[in-house]
Structure 1
Amino acid sequence: MKELLILGAGTSGTMMANHLRRALPKKAWNITIVDQEKTHYYQPGFLFLPFDLYKTKDVKKKIDKFIPKGVNLIQEKINRIDKDNDTVILKNNKSLEYDILIIATGTNIAPQEIEGMLGNHWHKSVFDFYTFEGARNLRNKLRTWKGGKLVVHIAEMPIKCPVAPLEFAFLADSYFINKGIREKVDITFVTPMSGAFTKPKATEALEYLLKQKNIKVVPDFNIEHVDGENKKIVDYAEQEVEYDLLVTVPTNMGDEMIERSGFGDELNYVPTDKATLQTMVKDNIFAIGDATNIPASKAGSVAHFEAEILTENIKRFIKSKELKKEFDGHANCFIETGHGKALLIDFNYTQEPVKGTFPFAGIGPLSLLKETYMNHMGKLAFRWIYWNMLIKGKHIPFVSATMDTAGKQIEEAV
């Protein structure tokens, strides 16, 4: 019996467990997935939790609910990977041998990387919304907050879901208008990038919306420290931005286990071939989703597309066939803009977000790079798709793993 081991039972790992249990013969392959957590979180829902648009029950379920029959679930902390001996050592000192290893350990916020970010003010005047605890505590804060200087801040790239901080700013604008206190709230978006997003075409559309909603932008801000006592953030050029309420996306880093294993980059991301998803660590080790260092967005849609291609490459690897260099960095993301509207962007490694229709050429019903009610409904529908299709490894109809150019104005892209 051969052993296939998956590290991480988040979005990517759970999808791969479902894909591979269907793809590999049960008599030949034993599949095991390891994760210390007992709860599976719908992380896109963390964006809605602070604004009371979702309840806590909407964003969490038991982790074992989505692990397919025939897959062993071990709920234990991972100590390290011994790549030379094809073994994973758990915190309880037990060892798991493998023939194929898939690393799906994701990425986490690391507020300790920024001087002064943690302290007595953490989750009191300085909040994240990339964790369940952070989003829930921020919700409680916003329920009673009377206004002031709200700063939405990105520490450094890459981060999970690069559009989420922008969405937070847009939803905050809508939230405070609905509460009747928008004139009492000064919203500033602070980013280390030179524009609102990583892609120029999308930046053009997003910066227009920021201006329209009277949200100030402070670009090229590389944070050096948080001055919690005086409520301001300071960058390396000694530029200062004052706040009454700081909503930050701290440095994102891969799992500490990667560092203990002796490989990974300075942020603990796994060196991975961007087209095959085979790691540079060893031929029988693959990586997927936020755990990789590939230049694609760290988002659930990307992991979904990767999973379909990685499943095929695992089957090819088992048969000693050449791996398909097929993953093109495809991502599509809904961007909530408030007041019941959203944008949709579709792009890959080489193609910037374009105008057009999705998923059907000339029909839609979704519009690309355009603010519409239908896109907002698509964003809300994604929660059902996530729980019922995406993490169960089911193909989403009419949406291809690689970027489809039909119905898109490709000539307009840079």
Structure 2
Amino acid sequence: MQRLLILGGGTAGTMVANKLRRRLDRGDWQVTVVDHDDDHLYQPGLLFLPFGTIQAQQIVKPRRHFLPDGVDLVLGEIALVDADTNTVILAGGRELSYDQLVIATGVSPRPDQTPGMLGPQWRRSVFDFFSLDGATALKAALESFEGGRLVVHITDMPIKCPVAPLEFTFLADAYLRARGIRDRAEIVYVTPLPGAFTKPIAAEHLGAMLDERRIVVEPDFLVERIDTDTKTLVSYDGREVPFDLLVTVPLNMGADFVARSGLGDELNLVPVDRHTFLSTRHADIFALGDANDIPTSKAGSVAHFSVEVFADNFCEHIAGQPMTGSFDGHANCFIESGGGKGLLIDFNYDTEPLPGSYPLPVIGPFGLLRENARNHWGKLAFRWIYWHLLLPGRRIPLPSHMSMAGKHQPVKEPQS
């Protein structure tokens, strides 16, 4: 009996378990998922929780509910992967052996990595929303916010869903307008990037949206520490950004066991071939979802598209054949912009987000780099798709590789 061990029962790990359980002979393969608890969190929902448009019970469900018959779920903390003996050791000493290992333990916010972030202002005037308890605490803080300087801050890249801080900023602007106190608040967007996004066309478009909303951008800001006495962000180059309410995205890092096992880089991300997800060091270890170091967004769409490619490759791999599938870095993300509108971006390793329509030319129905209500409703509808189609590994009629259909280069205005 061959043993497939999947570390992490989040988006990527659950999809892998569902897709491969259908394809692997049950008489030949045992499939096991390991995670530290039985709570599956729908992470995109954390964005809406601080604004009261979604409740915690709508975004947390049992992991077991989404794993098929024939997949074992083991609950426990992962202490170590011994790649020399093909063994995973759990806290407490239990050992699980494997023939093939998939690491899908994602990344987590690490406020402890920035001096002062976990100081006396934590969850008083300094909040995050990339965790359930953080988003819940932030909801209460926003409800009591009556004006002042609201700073939205990214510590460093990469992070889960790189557009989420922008979405939060747009939604905060709309939220304060709805409360009638926008004129009493200054919103500042502090980023380590040179602009609103990593790619120039999207950065220009999103930057213009920030300007329209009177949101100040502080670019190229690498935070050294948070001065809790003066409630100020301090950068390595000496710049200071004071705040009354700080919504920060802490440094995102992979699981600590990855470092203890000698499998990761300085952020505990597993180095892999960016097209096949096979470890660059071990021929029987793959890393999927946010846990690897591929140069694209750490987003649910990447997990979806990459698992589609991985499932075919894995079956070839265990048959001793070359892996013929090649992931192209395909990602797409809805971006909430407030007021019941949103936009969509679609890109890959080689092509930046472009304007147009998705997934079909002209008829869309979704607009690329264009605000409209359809994109907003598409984002809201995705929660149902996630629970009922994506996690169970059912077929979604979207190509895993990016298509140029419906996209076009923007026309530049002539220089005067």
Q: TM-score per shorter chain, which class?
A: over 0.9
The answer on 1:195 being equivalent to 2:227 is no
**Which residue of 2 is the match for residue 353 of structure 1?**
353
**Which residue of 2 is the match for residue 163 of structure 1?**
163
1:411: how far off?
A: 8.1
- TM-score normalised by length of structure 2: 0.97
1:324: how far off?
A: 2.3
For residues 39-67 of structure 1, give each alpha carbon's deviation from its aligned partner in whole angstroms, at most 9, with x where no partner exists: 11000000000001111111111121111
Supply the AA of the counterpart residue of 2:115. Answer: E
1:263: how far off?
A: 2.1
**Which residue of 1 is the match for residue 241 of structure 2?**
241
**Alpha-carbon distance in structure 1 between the residues aligned to 2:53 and 2:292:** 31
For residues 298-339 of structure 1, give each alpha carbon's deviation from its aligned partner in whole angstroms, at most 9, with x where no partner exists: 000000001111111110011111012510000000000100
**What is the DSSP-based 3-state SS (H/G/I as helix, E as strand, rest coil) of the residue aligned with 2:207?**
helix
**Alpha-carbon distance in structure 1 between the residues aligned to 2:223 and 2:323:** 41
The answer on 1:148 being equivalent to 2:148 is yes
Alignment of 1:262-273 (within 5 A): 262-273=262-273
Give the gaps of 5 or more residues in structure 2: none
**Alpha-carbon distance in structure 1 between the residues aligned to 2:112 and 2:298:** 21
**Which residue of 1 is the match for residue 108 of structure 2?**
108
**Which residue of 2 is the match for residue 405 of structure 1?**
404
Q: Contact 1:354–1:412 (CA<8 Å) still a contact in 2? A: no
**What is the DSSP-based 3-state SS (H/G/I as helix, E as strand, rest coil) of the residue aligned with 1:4?**
strand
Q: Contact 2:313–2:323 (CA<8 Å) still a contact in 1? A: yes
Supply the AA of the counterpart residue of 1:63. Answer: R
1:372: how far off?
A: 0.7
**Alpha-carbon distance in structure 2 between the residues aligned to 1:177 and 1:73:** 46
The answer on 1:369 being equivalent to 2:369 is yes
**Alpha-carbon distance in structure 2 between the residues aligned to 1:410 and 1:312:** 33
Give the gaps of 5 or more residues in structure 1: none
**What is the DSSP-based 3-state SS (H/G/I as helix, E as strand, rest coil) of the residue aligned with 2:123?**
coil
Report how many aligned residue pairs link the two structures: 412
Larger CA deviation: 172-181 vs 320-329: 320-329
**Which residue of 2 is the match for residue 28 of structure 1?**
28
Supply the AA of the counterpart residue of 2:369. Answer: L
Supply the AA of the counterpart residue of 1:361. Answer: P
**Which residue of 2 is the match for residue 118 of structure 1?**
118
Q: Contact 2:312–2:325 (CA<8 Å) still a contact in 1? A: no
For residues 192-235 of structure 1, give each alpha carbon's deviation from its aligned partner in whole angstroms, at most 9, with x where no partner exists: 01010111111011000000000000001000000111110000
**Which residue of 2 is the match for residue 250 of structure 1?**
250
- What RMSD in Å do the two structures reach over aligned CA positions? 1.1
**Which residue of 2 is the match for residue 378 of structure 1?**
378
Alignment of 1:169-248 (within 5 A): 169-248=169-248
1:129: how far off?
A: 0.3
Supply the AA of the counterpart residue of 2:120. Answer: N
Which stretches of structure 1, 4 residues or more, deviate above 3 A after TM superposition? 410-413
Supply the AA of the counterpart residue of 2:111. Answer: P
Supply the AA of the counterpart residue of 2:305. Answer: F
Supply the AA of the counterpart residue of 2:335. Answer: I
Q: Contact 2:126–2:245 (CA<8 Å) still a contact in 1? A: yes
Supply the AA of the counterpart residue of 1:409. Answer: H
Supply the AA of the counterpart residue of 1:335. Answer: I
**What is the DSSP-based 3-state SS (H/G/I as helix, E as strand, rest coil) of the residue aligned with 1:85?**
coil
**Which residue of 2 is the match for residue 281 of structure 1?**
281
**Which residue of 1 is the match for residue 6 of structure 2?**
6
Larger CA deviation: 235-244 vs 317-326: 317-326
Supply the AA of the counterpart residue of 1:322. Answer: P
**Which residue of 2 is the match for residue 322 of structure 1?**
322
1:81: how far off?
A: 0.4
For residues 121-141 of structure 1, give each alpha carbon's deviation from its aligned partner in whole angstroms, at most 9, with x where no partner exists: 111110000000000000011
Q: Contact 2:42–2:59 (CA<8 Å) still a contact in 1? A: yes
Identity %: 51
For residues 53-91 of structure 1, give each alpha carbon's deviation from its aligned partner in whole angstroms, at most 9, with x where no partner exists: 111111111121111111000001100100011111111
